[in-house]
Amino acid sequence: MQDVTNGADGPYTVNVTAAACIPPPPPPANDDCDAAISLTANTWCNFQYFTGVGGTESLPGLTCNGFTGDAGDDVWFSFVATAADMTIGVIGSDDGDGDVNTGYDAVIELFEGACPGTSIGCADGTLGCEAEELAATGLSVGATYYVRVYDWYAAPWPDHTFGICVVEGAGGNIGIEEASSADAWSIFPNPGTGVFNLQYTGASALSNIEVFDLTGRVVYNEQVSLAKGANHNIDLSDLSAGNYNVRLTANGARTEQRLMVK
């Protein structure tokens, strides 16, 4: 064999290496509604921890609180109503950085009737591993209800676990801290197209604005000085229609809000 380009004659040795494929993790036991794990209702929140690793989509993600996540890892639970008003709480795991704005971003959906039944409520009001709380009213005591939980993001975080509890009473204090960190700013129109307006009411600061897609990829990044009462334009006209997260870092605090591009 001759290497004409380099003027060299063989023989040559060709080495081929290969690594064994790593099989995907098996689905969890409660991957489908008919295998839902039964939860016991209490008068206080006693989180039980589960995982969505290996989960497969049972139903498409629903639009909740105006946004639609990815339900590719949904898992199922059931409970028997012990009161007409009940609360389901879910808290996601952190991704290791200690920031509640990242990590497992839980979505809760409640169903009634034969499994999976009819969707009667959902909760998707927080970001990252902050806790979600779904208050259900008018339930039939003694009836079985089903709960679907999944991570809003398409790409799983390193620790894909979450805690869930069912509590008697609607909107009762179940030990979940309400999210209020994003009160210092808002973005509008939402949903919208093209240029968005970020209205800032916090203390003046050199700030960083980042926009993430559903996979967690940064699609927009800008550093800007924001004064209290400022209105700052963000041009996202190059982005495809869909759901995004907008992260603002200012004065050492990092908060996120959801944004829909039409």
22 in any annotated domain: no
Q: What is the pLDDT of residue 178?
A: 40
Considering only residues 101 and 232, tell me which one the structure prediction assigns the higher pLDDT. 232
Which residue shows structure tokens 């559903």?
A: 214
Q: What is the pLDDT of residue 172?
A: 53
Number of domains in the chain: 2
Answer yes or no: do 57 and 132 share one domain. yes
pLDDT tens profile 16-73: 887 777 788 899 999 999 999 999 998 888 889 999 999 999 999 999 988 899 999 9
Q: What is the pLDDT of residue 140?
A: 96
Per DSSP (E only), the strands in the chain are 2-3, 8-9, 37-39, 48-51, 63-64, 67-68, 75-80, 86-92, 106-112, 118-123, 132-136, 144-151, 161-168, 185-188, 195-200, 205-212, 218-226, 231-235, 242-250, 253-261
Q: What is the pLDDT of residue 177?
A: 43
* pLDDT-derived band at 180, boundaries 50, 70, 90: very low
- Positive or negative torsion for Cα 25, 150, 179, 133: negative
pLDDT tens profile 195-239: 999 999 888 888 999 998 877 789 999 999 998 888 999 999 999
Whether residue 116 is preceded by a cis peptide bond, meaning omega within 30 degrees of 0, is: yes
Answer yes or no: do 128 and 44 share one domain. yes
Check which CATH number belongs to the domain holding 138 and give it: 2.60.120.380
106 in any annotated domain: yes
- The mean pLDDT of 75-87, rounded to a whole number, is 95
Answer yes or no: do 87 and 150 share one domain. yes
Check which CATH number belongs to the domain holding 233 and give it: 2.60.40.1930
Answer yes or no: do 55 and 151 share one domain. yes
